[in-house]
Chains A and B, each alone.
Chain A
Amino acid sequence: MTPTDVDALARLLDGDPTLNGEVTEESRALGRLAHVLATAKPVPARPEFKAALRAKLVDAAREQARVPALTRMRTGIGASTARWRYSTRAAAATGAAALALSSGGLAVAADRALPSDVLYPAKLVIEDVRIALVRDDVSRGAAHLAQASTRISEAEAAAGDGNQAGAAVALLKADEALRTGAGELLRAYTQRGDASSVERLADFTDQQRARLARLDDLLAGEAAEAARILRVAFERIEARMMSVVGACEGCEGATPEPRPGADLADIPPAHEAFEECPCDLGPSGGDAGTVDAEPPGPSLDGAPEAPPVQDMPPAATDTPSVQPPAEAPTDDPGVPQPDPNHEPPPLTVPDLPSVAEPRRSSDSGVVDAIVRGVLHVLLP
């Protein structure tokens, strides 16, 4: 087989009139074979099958068209979408209203959606709304961890289908949910000494890291990069758990107290710098230990990469190249610190009555308030 033979056959099959004596007898014979294949009339599908499938597709298309608001909210979700920027008020109000008004049908259908499915955006919105209605930090943290676990399950399903883009989306969302949930649980420990929250977080990271390791073989390209980002989150969470319990690996727990102003509940994303040892090392410790940041490289979300930072030995006299968080905790330990680096911003649900304990959106008073919110948002 020579390139000339290949090209001559291709031109022959295309009916190139400029072909003259360039075609060998073998190529002509191959062309005749192709002609036999091409002129055989295929057997069509059974009319009964076609009619039944047509009716099923029409029903499915009509059902799909009934959720335009939610799909429009999430339009533009590309294969490598890493950030979700949307109106939290509209998202919470619209999603919760869909929950209230659908008699459970939409929520049930959306619950099974996978990345790339039409109802996947609705699924995420519904989850966010449910979590927003949870009031205590431990329950909220657990809910975010459950979200992260669900995202990993979706990534497993997508990767199994060969949908690398969908797996990437799910893993990046898992990263966000994991860091948010970990922050809630770490804060519960640092502010109230709730040891069970850290234990829960430790068990969760062990289980999910094992799942991620098993998933690695199925991932490629952007999905593999998303998995790496998620692994970085696990590593940082584990480092932070060690710090909060006084077993900091950066300073080997020499001084278990964190520096004033160090936010131990803050787990930055992989592309941002991370202070592995946030401990107070005393008057000589202006340098706060090892600072870890991701090396610059292609970013899935277009966010600027953190500059490379060299490791600094603990006894060095150089000042740290990354400033600790400037904000000190307020006097009210129950108020979470706003962090501009977190994506997406915390959800707020408008016009909710105060609730004494964490409860779901099944409360009719809450639902009525949310429906009012929907009307306020959607009607001009």
Chain B
Amino acid sequence: MRTSSEPAGTVAASAASLPSPAPASAADPDVVEQVQAAQEGSAQAFALLYDRYVDQVFSYVYHRVGHRQTAEDLVGDVFLRALRRITSFKWQGVDFGAWLITIARNRVHDHFKSARFRLEATVEEVFDTPGSSTADDPEEAAIHGDLARQVHEALSQLKGEQAEVLYLRFIQHLNVAETGAVMGKSDGAVKALQYRALKSLAKHVPQELGKL
């Protein structure tokens, strides 16, 4: 799972492929060391893990609930739960970031269940303003920004697992296996779900696809 301090990754030669994901955090020796120290009681180590992942967790939660204050409250709960359960984390196919996202996912589900909260993303805030994409051409950036707005607006209309797999795969940049671990699904099920989810998403922005 990428961290906010790492570069966005290069776009593959084909415009249809995703930016290359950063190496899984499970292989990052710093993360391994920090997790071990946190499990042994180091407050500083847990704080460093927090620094590394807070933006990703906040981004996921904010996309799901669409309200900043609510997202902040839930993110606080997520990290407190992670702290309480830090000794239960095992490196078994799920890296630490994906584990945090799993906790966040459960917390968001609880929030929706208890508050019957409907997902209404504030699209103007949820994604960045035009000009933040990797494109250098201002005109292309403006077009991309406008399309991004429409795509995210369409995303906010998806519900349930289809919205979730898109958040996890393409906004949180989890790979198929990590997404499957968070959602409790096999790799094949995740691939099928992401296909159906993208098709549902496309129904809301069909006329814009040709501009890319």
* A residues lining the B interface (CB < 8 Å): 1, 5-7, 9-10, 12-15, 23, 27-46, 49-50, 53-54, 56-58, 60-62, 64-65, 68, 71, 75, 116-118, 161-162
- What residue of chain B has the Cβ atom nearest to residue A5's Cβ? B195
Q: List 29 A-B contacts (CB under 8 A).
A: A1-B199, A9-B198, A12-B14, A13-B18, A15-B14, A30-B198, A31-B16, A31-B17, A34-B169, A35-B17, A36-B212, A37-B166, A38-B18, A39-B148, A40-B132, A40-B133, A40-B152, A40-B171, A41-B128, A41-B133, A43-B126, A44-B58, A45-B72, A57-B79, A60-B83, A61-B41, A61-B46, A64-B83, A162-B110
Give the docked Cα–Cα distance between A361 and B115 (Å): 43
Measuring CB to CB, which residues of chain B are less than 8 angstroms from any residue of chain A? Answer: 4, 8, 11-12, 14-20, 38, 41-44, 46-47, 50-51, 54-55, 58-59, 62-63, 68, 71-72, 75-76, 79-80, 83-85, 87-88, 106, 109-110, 125-128, 132-134, 144, 147-148, 151-152, 155, 166, 169-171, 173, 175-176, 191-192, 194-196, 198-199, 201-202, 205, 209, 212
**Are B18 and A64 in contact, with the CB atoms below 8 A?**
no
- Look across to chain B and name the residue whose beta carbon is closest to the beta carbon of A48: B72
| A15-B18 contact in complex given A33-B205, A53-B79, C-beta closer than 8 Å | yes
Contact B125 A43 (CB under 8 A): yes
CB distance from A262 to the nearest CB of B (A): 45
Give the contacting residue for A53; candidates B54, B126, B151, B166; CB below 8 A.
Answer: B54
A44 proximity list for chain B (CB < 8 A) = 4, 55, 58-59
**Chain A residues, Cβ within 8 Å of B79:** 53, 57
CB within 8 Å for A58 and B202 given contacts A36-B144, A38-B170: no
With both chains docked as a complex, state the minimum distance between the C-beta of B168 and any C-beta of chain A, in angstroms: 11
- Judging by beta carbons under 8 Å apart, are B192 and A6 in contact? yes
Contact yes or no, A57 B127, CB < 8 A: no
Q: A39-B19, A57-B80, A162-B106 are in contact. Are A32 and B209 (CB under 8 A)?
A: yes
A194 vs B18: C-alpha distance in the bound complex, in angstroms? 76
Contact residues in B for A7 (Cβ distance below 8 Å): 191
**10 extra A-B contacts, CB within 8 A, seeds A35-B212, A61-B46, A117-B84:** A5-B195, A9-B191, A27-B16, A33-B151, A37-B152, A38-B171, A40-B127, A40-B152, A44-B59, A53-B75
Q: A10-B176, A64-B84 known; A30 and B17 CB under 8 Å?
A: no
* A43-B88 in contact given A5-B195, A65-B43 (Cβ < 8 Å): no
Given the contacts A32-B16, A35-B18, A40-B133, A68 and B41 also touching, CB distance less than 8 Å: yes
The SS class assigned to the B binding surface is helix
Measured in the bound complex, the distance between the Cα atoms of B51 and A23 in whole Å is 40
- What residues on B are CB-neighbors of A46 within 8 Å? 68, 72
8 A-B pairs with least C-beta separation: A31-B16, A61-B43, A65-B41, A42-B59, A37-B170, A45-B58, A41-B128, A30-B198
The contact of B88 among A14, A27, A116, by CB within 8 Å, is A116
> Which of A56, A118, A161 is close to B76, meaning CB atoms less than 8 Å apart?
A56
Bound Cα distance from A62 to B106, whole angstroms: 26
- Chain A residue numbers with a CB within 8 Å of B201 are 33
Asked if A32 and B127 sit within 8 Å, CB to CB, the answer is: no
What residue in chain A is nearest B172 (Cβ atoms)?
A42
Report B-chain residues with C-beta under 8 Å of the C-beta of A40: 127-128, 132-133, 148, 151-152, 171
- Interface contact B47-A39, CB-CB below 8 Å: no
Tell me whether B17 and A29 are in contact (CB under 8 A).
no
Given A36-B212, A43-B127, A45-B72, answer yes or no on A30-B83 (Cβ-Cβ < 8 Å): no
Once the chains are docked, how many angstroms separate the CA of A242 from the CA of B128? 72
A20 to chain B, nearest CB (A): 11
B133 touches A54 (CB 8 A): no
What distance in Å separates the Cβ of A22 from its nearest Cβ neighbour in chain B?
A: 13
| Complex contacts, B55 vs chain A, CB 8 Å | 42, 44-45
Residues of the A chain whose Cβ atoms lie less than 8 Å from the Cβ of B16: 12, 23, 27-28, 31-32, 35
* Contacting residues, chain A, for B44 (C-beta < 8 A): 58
Q: Select one of B63, B85, B199 contacting A30, CB under 8 A.
A: B199
B15 touching A61 by the CB < 8 A rule?
A: no
CA distance A6 to B199 in the complex (A): 11
Q: How far is the CA of A40 from the CA of B84 in the complex (A)?
A: 33
- A50-B198 contact, Cβ under 8 Å, with A31-B17, A38-B19: no
Known: A39-B8, A44-B4, A50-B54. A10 touches B194 (CB 8 A): yes
CA distance A7 to B146 in the complex (A): 30
Q: Would you call A54 and B76 a contact (CB within 8 A)?
A: no
Of listed B85, B109, B212, residue having the most chain A CB within 10 A: B212
Contacts of A33 in B (CB 8 A): 151, 198, 201-202, 205, 209
**Residue pair B134, A39 in contact (C-beta under 8 Å):** yes
The CA of A50 and the CA of B63, in the complex, are separated in Å by: 17
Contact A41/B84 with A33-B202, A35-B212, A53-B76 known, Cβ cut-off 8 Å = no
